[in-house]
């Protein structure tokens, strides 16, 4: 089941990268992205980066590495 969900989420991430221009044209610009990621193209870059992050996290989930990543990030908070 993990692989099916992972492949579906990878498809969503791919669509975010592929159709970034369509997303910007239909839903509008992201002001934060326009300010910090570049003039008149920051929103497209933002959606493409979000798609790449979604694909990466989905692959981590599919192959069972997401638990190890969460432990690695939060383990210093719980040490005594």
Is the pTM here over 0.75, yes or no? yes
Query: What pLDDT digit, counting tens, does each position of 11-58 carry?
Result: 999 999 999 999 999 999 999 998 898 877 899 999 999 999 999 999
Domain count, the chain: 1
Is the distance from CB of 9 to CB of 54 less than 8 angstroms? Answer: yes
* Domain span holding position 11: 2-78
Q: How many other CB atoms are there within 10 angstroms of residue 58's CB atom?
A: 20
């Amino acid at each position: 089941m993990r692989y099916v969900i992972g492949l579906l989420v990878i498809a969503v991430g791919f669509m975010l990268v592929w159709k970034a221009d369509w997303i910007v044209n239909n839903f509008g610009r992201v002001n934060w992205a326009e300010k910090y990621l570049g003039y008149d193209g920051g929103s497209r870059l933002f959606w493409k980066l979000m798609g790449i992050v979604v694909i990466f996290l989905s692959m981590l989930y599919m192959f069972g590495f997401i638990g190890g990543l969460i432990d690695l990030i939060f383990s210093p908070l719980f040490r005594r």
